[in-house]
Amino acid sequence: MSNQSAISIVGEFVANRHYDDLSDLAITRARQVTLDFIGTMLGGYQTRLGALAADYAAQMQKGDDASIVGDGRRSTLEGAAWANATMGKYLGMDDSHRTAGHVASQLVPVALTLGEQLGLSGQQYILALAVGYDVMDMVHSAVDSWQRERGMDHKSQAGTFGSAATAAKAMGLSAEKTKNALALAMDMACGTEQYVWDAGSCDTKDLLAGYGARNGIYAAKLADFGFRGPPGALDGEYGYFHAFGPGYDEAFLDVLDGEALARTGFKPHAGCRHVHSCVDATHELLKSGRPDLNSISSIEVDTYLEAITPEFRVNYEPQVVGQAGFSLPVTVSVILPRGNWFR
């Protein structure tokens, strides 16, 4: 058993990773994820929420550190990362990682804003992005089931840790300062999924991605300035895994294999990734011809537990798009008569 705290081990992992440690697939994924998320940011910028986020960052977070994507105006590091993450999350087309969730919406804005300000090379940018994926995967995979049952949102929970790791690596922080950045990020982790129940009445689904990006940069800047976080931030009696998860297990750290970025994927459809397999299966059925809708009395779907729990995932009467995208019955039913969500 190691005498080191978990946060120290993670801090050393982040600080000691080198570009040459990355697999070819991880490097390729970094490029793909970046291009993919730039597209989602540009799409989100053209929406009401995207325009509002850009205005807020430009007017209320005045600075010249980094660009607000698609806008032409600039803001502070935190302001630009927050706005870019918020608008990039809006379309629901950010990447989807089996155990880390939606990662790019927090980490890519952090890496881009810091890369712009600091003049990072392509290799430095990719490495910063990769270690953020590793840390976010480690945190979220350990608490996913526990947090889902309690309505917590991973973008601003594990996402804050991942963003802090990306920011610390981009800034070239030492292992000690990286440890403190991650420890400080622990107390900034926040957010629930109440937005699903209140969809249409709030903007927080997308704002949470912004919080994760902003807070990660803030934590790294605090650590670089000399502030310290609790050594037991992950494994302590009131550390993250006890306060926001099932308790600490040393095996959690085994997830830090350096390949999290290589394992991410891309969403072929908007809406929650849990409904996609059933939507794809419905598309396959339609290839042999469309059914007579009047002859259908019920539809049976064989899927896994996470796709139908909590109950908002089987909402038969969603009132707004923000609820419909999570509902398996609705997304499958929309495909049958239309053949495509967007026609």
Q: Are 48 and 206 in contact (CB under 8 A)?
A: no
- What's the confidence (pLDDT) of residue 289? 83
Which region among 2-6, 138-142, 200-204, 250-254 has the lowest average model confidence (pLDDT)? Answer: 2-6
pTM for this entry: 0.91
Structure tokens at 331: 């997304």
More confident residue, 286 or 49: 49
Distant-in-sequence, close-in-space partners of 91: CB < 8 Å, separation ≥ 6: 40, 43, 44, 47, 270
- Domains in the chain, CATH or no CATH each: 6-263 (1.10.4100.10), 273-338 (no CATH)
133 vs 125: CA distance, rounded Å: 13
Taking each helix axis as running N to C, give the angle between helix 24-45 and helix 104-118, from 0 to 180 degrees, rounded to the nearest 10. Answer: 90
Reported as a pLDDT band with limits 50, 70 and 90, residue 2 is low
Helix or strand or coil: residue 67?
strand
